[in-house]
Chain A
Amino acid sequence: MTGGNLARAVGGDLRRHWRHLVAGGAGIALTIAALAFFVALWLGVRGVLLGEVFPLHRVEVHRRAAELNLLAVKLALGSDTIGDEELAAIGGIEGVAAVYPKMRLLAPAVATGGEALLGTAMQTELVADGIDPSLVADRVGGAFHDPTVDPRNASVPCTGDGGCPSGTACVGATSFRSGSCREPIPVIVSEHMVELYNGAFSRAYRLPKINPEALIGLGLDVDFGASSLRPTGRRTVRERLVLVGFSDAAMPLGVTLPLGFVKRLNRQLGPAGAADGYHSAVVEIRSADAAPGVTAAIEALGLEVRDRGARRIATALAVVLAIATAVGAAVLAVASLHVMHVFALLAMFRRREIGVLRAVGASRRDIRSIFVIEAAVVGLAAGAAGLVCAVAIAEVADRLRLDRLPDFPFAPESLFVFPAWLLAGALGVAALASVLGALGPVLRATAADPAELVSGG
């Protein structure tokens, strides 16, 4: 049977039996509509939850705390840092895209500055950590780097900022000796700090609220090694810091500096071995689905993953999907039974016709091809109709939500995501269900000899 003739036969049958076929396909269309709607909703909600509320693509890894509580003091047992070999091991885990080590500053520091903002200079103890600049490259860009290793910043002796070229500051000058001109050390802070400041701090101290963008470029002088709490008697290093951006990779309370800079300060000013290990590492995971496996592998290294809430969400989402899939599969099986019923009826009605076609020269394969293609066309049409319904209902649901429900944090434009694979998959499943439903009756109808079929036996 040639393709053209097959198409002709199928086309004629579809026109002739469209009422029955619509009835048969309706079950599939409804099922596909429901399935596609819920999968799209699931994808949308999952995207919001994992992408913005509980980002799972980045988790922070710490050494599992082994410590002894002695009254008010905790004694750490063994090292609480992560070494280079462990970083390499994490990097080798399947599903890990990148590992960014973090190191806390282990020397005291006192910051002075803020006249431009507050009207009067403030002095405060400073907590700081260092991160790999590439961790925030997408948010902050190239401004966040370690300038002390930049060869362009050749030392120019100076006694104050005025003696330095623009964009650089005089670092290390005291009353007794001159300093050198250098780009200031870039700093990033967490957005939460600004929120905290605007929410409570500015009210308590009757200070103006600040717009985060206006803070970019704000300078701060910091004496590393110094403390306002007690004299350290150690040598200090004065540096000029400048705020270059905001990132949730920055520490929640404190400032975040380029890793190399912190490492050097720890070596110079910190206790022995302060620059030898990292205090944590941010692990970037290729996809949220890989998170459970990566977490398990990290825990096998004797380390722990802090974002347990996110993991629980991911597990809950997986369970919800599994349940939804099981229910969907059951519904689809019922829809497919419905198709089977319709095709069984049609095959029965058409027994004589099948017999006549066989008698004038159709092979079993010809008849099967006709019926299977008819079933596939019905399935595809039903699937397409179902998808149109699903998209339309999703549209209405989105509009109702935006009109009627209050805005909630992280609320996206649409709660539904219909990726291409979902559309293609829904069509495929619809066609498959229809063909599987039709197959039994068709095989039964073609098993008989033409003589039996035309005689009604």
Chain B
Amino acid sequence: MIRITDLEKRYPADDRRVLAGARVVIGAGEIASLVGRSGCGKTTLLNIVGGLDTKYSGNVEIDGRDLRELDDVELAHYRRRRVGVVFQAYHLLDHLSCAENVAISALFGRSGSTSTPRARRRRADEVLELVGLAGVGDLRPHRLSGGERQRVAIARALFNRPALLLLDEPTGNLDATTGGEILELLGALHGAGGLTVLAATHDPTIVAAGSRRLVMTDGLIVDDPRGRP
């Protein structure tokens, strides 16, 4: 469960409040879409919820634990084990193979079940297969199409079986068919276990596939009842 209260964010460059006291509660297992015009602060909100941005005021509680109370190591653990983030620009590392990209988080912390290189590779191949990319493990990401790269990024986000998946414009850079495949994948993942999804998007098909529609305006989050089934 995500509980956001009085969230405010101001970038140092200008003193406009990108987030101006936003509040929302997203229950476990929900698929929430976050819509709003470009520049309204969707990415900013995902960064804060994903533990990638610590410079805000207000509170973000994940399963009852305030992110602000976590020290750097605990926050790193949160990013590694609890949340998967898929960036709009994917941010894959081109000097690593797809499998290495997918398993990169296992380098950090005490990685438990994926502590050996072989176990890591097995898990990486498993999630690549899950996103429909069996066999690309040894390729470099730049050899893949945009949609495939998107899915490698999703595979990386799913590597540690997170409870929360954050997606930034997951279909924004893709054509309609590829977008549809991604959507199907998300549906399958959600069906498989109580994954909570928060996706910033313009894409009406994603909005329609979700269980809830959140609208960002003027730095606030408004629940759009049309999003409720």
Say whether A364 contacts B72, CB under 8 Å. Answer: yes
Say whether B108 contacts A361, CB under 8 Å. Answer: yes
User: Of B53, B89, B156, which one neighbours A360 at CB under 8 angstroms?
Assistant: B156
Given the complex of chains A and B, what is the CA–CA distance between A133 and B95 in angstroms? 76
Say whether B54 contacts A361, CB under 8 Å. Answer: no
Say whether A356 contacts B79, CB under 8 Å. Answer: no
Residues in B neighbouring A2, C-beta threshold 8 A? 110-111, 115
Q: For A13, give the chain B residue with the smallest CB separation.
A: B95
**How many residues of chain A have a CB within 8 Å of chain B?**
26
User: Of B72, B91, B110, B115, which one neighbours A359 at CB under 8 angstroms?
Assistant: B91
With most chain A CB atoms within 10 A of its CB, the pick from B73, B76, B105 is B76
Say whether A360 contacts B105, CB under 8 Å. Answer: yes
Say whether B76 contacts A363, CB under 8 Å. Answer: yes
User: Of B93, B110, B111, which one neighbours A353 at CB under 8 angstroms?
Assistant: B93
Say whether A361 contacts B110, CB under 8 Å. Answer: no
User: Of B72, B79, B108, which one neighbours A5 at CB under 8 angstroms?
Assistant: B108
Choose, from B61-69, B80-88, B196-204, B209-217, the stretch at the interface.
Answer: B80-88
Q: For B47, give the chain A residue with the smallest CB separation.
A: A451
With an 8 A cutoff between CB atoms, is A52 at the interface?
no
Residues in B neighbouring A357, C-beta threshold 8 A? 104, 108
Say whether B53 contacts A356, CB under 8 Å. Answer: no
Residues in A neighbouring B115, C-beta threshold 8 A? 2
A-B contact count (CB 8 A): 77
Say whether A16 contacts B47, CB under 8 Å. Answer: no
User: Of A356, A360, A365, A452, which one neighbours B80 at CB under 8 angstroms?
Assistant: A360
Residues in B neighbouring A361, C-beta threshold 8 A? 76-77, 79-81, 105, 108-109, 160
With an 8 A cutoff between CB atoms, is B25 at the interface?
no
Residues in A neighbouring B72, C-beta threshold 8 A? 363-365
With an 8 A cutoff between CB atoms, is B55 at the interface?
yes
Q: For B107, give the chain A residue with the smallest CB separation.
A: A5
A450 CB to closest chain B CB (Å) equals 4
Residues in A neighbouring B81, C-beta threshold 8 A? 361
With an 8 A cutoff between CB atoms, is A1 at the interface?
yes
Say whether B52 contacts A9, CB under 8 Å. Answer: no
Given the complex of chains A and B, what is the CA–CA distance between A5 and B108 in angstroms? 7
Residues in B neighbouring A365, C-beta threshold 8 A? 72-73
Say whether A356 contacts B76, CB under 8 Å. Answer: no
B67 CB to closest chain A CB (Å) equals 12
With an 8 A cutoff between CB atoms, is A454 at the interface?
yes
Say whether B91 contacts A356, CB under 8 Å. Answer: yes
- Which residues of B does A touch, CB under 8 Å? 47, 50, 52-55, 72-73, 75-77, 79-81, 85, 87, 89, 91, 93, 95, 104-111, 115, 117, 156, 160
List 25 A-B residue pairs with CB atoms under 8 Å apart, sorted by A's residue number: A2-B110, A2-B111, A5-B106, A8-B107, A8-B117, A353-B93, A355-B91, A356-B93, A356-B104, A357-B108, A359-B50, A359-B52, A359-B79, A360-B80, A360-B104, A361-B81, A362-B108, A363-B72, A363-B108, A365-B73, A366-B108, A449-B52, A449-B53, A449-B54, A452-B53
